[in-house]
């Protein structure tokens, strides 16, 4: 165990808190749908867009990076923690399925109310169970087995991928926006 405060774990825990909050929002909307009231589809789409963009593409790979280091440092410990890479593939599948279900509902495609609720619940409960397993199994083992140097190396890599919803996350597509503004400026002058 190192005394170094691994920024990576703190960041991942913060991201879990954000995702947990968004899953609660999503569940409220699904409950409206269950009661045959109209949910806020814009909100649902935005939550899914966030999950597709950030947790799926950045949050999970950051955890995979820690697991790879753990496999080098303590293969037995890595063996005992949940099979993270397979779990992440399952998370992606559930997210894809739920996203397609939402689009289908919006396009009035054939999807029963029960099927939609079922797919939504599988996504919400699956994400919650996954995060809980990481918090209670994976993070403590990683903190116990990796050294301060390991964490410094990991922290340096993951700092490049910031949660767009975090206070320090910065504007999404900020660089592209800068390019577009620069191009508009040069045309005008
Ligand atoms: Fe994960
Ligand atoms: Fe996670």
Residue 69 structure tokens: 């280091």
CATH fold, domain 7-188, is 1.20.120
Instruction: Give the model's pLDDT for residue 182.
Output: 83
Q: Are 5 and 146 in contact (CB under 8 A)?
A: no
Contacts 24+ apart (CB under 8 A), 151-160: 151/2, 151/4, 151/6, 151/7, 151/8, 152/4, 153/69, 154/6, 154/8, 154/65, 154/66, 154/69, 155/6, 155/7, 155/8, 157/65, 158/7, 158/8, 158/11, 158/62, 158/65, 159/7
Ligand that comes closest to the CA of residue 60: 1
Instruction: Give the model's pLDDT for residue 159.
Output: 82
Residue 148 CA to ligand 1 centre (angstroms): 22
- The residue count of the chain comes to 189
Instruction: Give the model's pLDDT for residue 167.
Output: 61
- Report residue 56: phi and psi, to 5°: -70, -40
Residue 22 CA to ligand 1 centre (angstroms): 16
Q: Give me the residue spans of the domains in the chain.
A: 7-188
Residue 60 CA to ligand 1 centre (angstroms): 5
Look at residues 35, 3, 42, 32 and name the one whose alpha carbon lies nearest to residue 151: 3
Residue 73 CA to ligand 1 centre (angstroms): 20
Instruction: Give the model's pLDDT for residue 165.
Output: 79
Residue 152 CA to ligand 1 centre (angstroms): 20
Ligand that comes closest to the CA of residue 12: 2
Instruction: Give the model's pLDDT for residue 81.
Output: 83
CA–CA dist 18, 6 (Å, integer): 19
In SS3 terms, 16-29 reads as HHHHHHHHHHHHHH
DSSP assignment of 97-112? HHHHHHHHHHTT-S--
CA–CA dist 163, 156 (Å, integer): 15
Ligand that comes closest to the CA of residue 131: 2
Residue 153 CA to ligand 2 centre (angstroms): 19
pTM attached to this predicted model: 0.86
- The three-state secondary structure class of 169 is coil
Q: What is the pLDDT along the chain (189 residues), one digit of tens a residue?
A: 555 678 999 999 999 999 999 999 999 999 999 998 999 998 999 899 999 988 898 999 999 999 999 999 999 988 888 788 899 999 999 999 999 999 998 888 788 889 999 999 999 999 999 999 999 999 999 999 999 999 999 999 988 888 887 766 555 666 666 777 887 788 887
């Amino acid at each position: 165990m190192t005394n170094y405060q691994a920024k990576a774990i703190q960041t991942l825990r913060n991201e879990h808190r954000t995702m947990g909050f968004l899953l609660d929002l999503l569940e409220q909307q699904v409950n409206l749908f269950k009661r045959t009231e109209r949910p806020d589809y814009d909100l649902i789409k935005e939550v899914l867009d966030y999950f597709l963009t950030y947790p799926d593409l950045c949050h999970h790979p950051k955890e995979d990076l820690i697991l790879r280091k753990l496999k080098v440092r303590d293969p037995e410990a890595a063996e005992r923690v949940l099979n993270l890479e397979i779990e992440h593939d399952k998370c992606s599948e559930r997210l894809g399925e739920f996203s397609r279900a939402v689009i289908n509902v919006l396009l009035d495609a054939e999807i029963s109310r029960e099927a939609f609720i079922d797919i939504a619940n599988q996504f919400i409960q699956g994400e919650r169970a996954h995060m809980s397993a990481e918090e209670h199994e994976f993070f403590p083992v990683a903190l116990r087995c990796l050294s301060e140097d390991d964490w410094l190396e990991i922290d340096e890599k993951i700092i490049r991928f910031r949660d767009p919803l975090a206070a320090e996350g910065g504007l999404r597509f900020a660089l592209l926006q800068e390019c577009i503004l620069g191009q508009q400026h040069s045309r005008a002058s």
